[in-house]
């Protein structure tokens, strides 16, 4: 069911061509949000084009941009192109070796938040996807956890700095997701381990995450938070001031 809360708004979704990013794009499009779908690898082109077709079927404006967002200039160009097509976006979602991991997960996130802040209308929102591993003791993931951890602090600082413009900045931290990418990176034993750590005995379904992103786009109060979406790795406690 669609509502009027988001109709006519615009969103730039990085990694929006497939998996969770694609589901978020479709979920927001159903609410009347115009969508810019970013993808990186040429191997994702066909899936991204299929996502674009679905998004457009909801009667919204949509476009696809391919870019490697590992430089500030490429992030800036993404927003410049998005503005030309859709106007000023009001929602941003920001959907491997050590250096590469930190380049993609930390540096790109920093520049994305920076340029989102410079392009958003008053009352917009920035949502970064991180990982529930930030609240876990999981062997073999120190580099991945470490590369995602700075995004929480980028988010908290940006939330405070952008409060005068009523721009809300939050992180969503899903558990390991039941998508082809995860199985391609993990051994069978590792997959079994992650499932065993879940109260439900399964990995995260991307359909569990998209409604939360939609809620944060509509909400006008929550900001500066990391929201763990999981039934895995035990209890996570965050003290927020």
Write down the pLDDT at residue 199: 76
Write down the pLDDT at residue 90: 75
Residue 221 has φ and ψ, to the nearest 5°, of -125, -40
- The model's pTM is 0.75
pLDDT tens-digit map of 206-232:
888 899 999 999 999 999 999 988 665
Write down the pLDDT at residue 143: 84
Residue 136 has φ and ψ, to the nearest 5°, of -135, 155
Q: Does residue 96 have a pLDDT over 90? A: no
Give which of 184, 207, 204 is closest to 194, Cα–Cα: 204
Mean pLDDT of the chain: 85
Write down the pLDDT at residue 231: 62
Write down the pLDDT at residue 211: 92
Write down the pLDDT at residue 237: 42
Q: How far apart are CA 226 and CA 216, in angstroms?
A: 12
Residue 85 has φ and ψ, to the nearest 5°, of -85, -45
Write down the pLDDT at residue 241: 40
- What is the CATH topology of the domain spanning 98-229? Rossmann fold (3.40.50)
Average pLDDT for residues 29-50, to the nearest whole number? 93
Is residue 55 within 8 A of residue 18, CB to CB? The reply is: no
Write down the pLDDT at residue 216: 94
Hey, what long-range contacts does 50-53 have (CB within 8 A, 24 or more apart)?
Answer: 51/16, 51/17, 51/18, 51/22, 51/25, 51/26
Residue 190 has φ and ψ, to the nearest 5°, of -65, -40
Comparing 165 with 180, the larger pLDDT belongs to 165
Q: How far apart are CA 35 and CA 197, in angstroms?
A: 36
Mean pLDDT is lowest, of 2-11, 42-51, 91-100, 141-150, for: 91-100
Segments making up each domain of the chain, as ranges: 10-86, 98-229
Write down the pLDDT at residue 183: 67
Q: How far apart are CA 112 and CA 76, in angstroms?
A: 8
Write down the pLDDT at residue 84: 73
Comparing 17 with 138, the larger pLDDT belongs to 17
Asked if domains 10-86 and 98-229 share a fold, the reply is: yes
Write down the pLDDT at residue 236: 46
Average pLDDT for residues 101-112, to the nearest whole number? 90
Q: How far apart are CA 17 and CA 46, in angstroms?
A: 9
The class (CATH top level) of 10-86 is: alpha beta
The residues annotated as belonging to the active site are 144
């Amino acid at each position: 069911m669609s509502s009027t809360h988001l109709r006519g708004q615009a969103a730039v979704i990085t990694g929006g061509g497939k998996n969770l990013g694609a589901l978020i794009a479709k979920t927001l499009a159903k609410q009347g949000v115009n969508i810019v779908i970013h993808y990186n690898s040429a191997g994702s082109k066909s899936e991204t084009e299929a996502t674009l077709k679905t998004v457009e079927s909801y009667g919204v404006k949509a476009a696809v941009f391919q870019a490697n967002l590992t430089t500030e200039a490429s992030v800036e160009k993404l927003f410049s192109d998005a503005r030309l097509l859709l106007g000023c976006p009001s929602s941003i979602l920001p959907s491997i070796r050590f250096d590469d991991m930190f380049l993609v997960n930390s540096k790109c996130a920093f520049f994305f938040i920076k340029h989102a802040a410079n392009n958003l209308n008053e009352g917009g929102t920035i949502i970064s996807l991180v990982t529930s591993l930030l609240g876990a003791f999981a062997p073999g993931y120190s580099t991945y956890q470490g590369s995602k951890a700075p995004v929480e602090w980028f988010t908290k600082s940006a939330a405070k700095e952008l409060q005068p413009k009523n721009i809300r900045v939050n992180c969503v931290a899903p558990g390991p997701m039941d998508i082809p990418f995860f199985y391609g990176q993990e051994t069978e034993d590792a997959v079994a381990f992650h499932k065993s750590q879940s109260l439900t005995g399964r990995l995260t379904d991307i359909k569990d995450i998209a409604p939360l992103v939609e809620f944060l786009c509509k909400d006008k109060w929550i900001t500066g938070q990391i929201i763990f979406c999981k039934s895995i790795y035990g209890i996570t406690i965050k003290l927020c001031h």
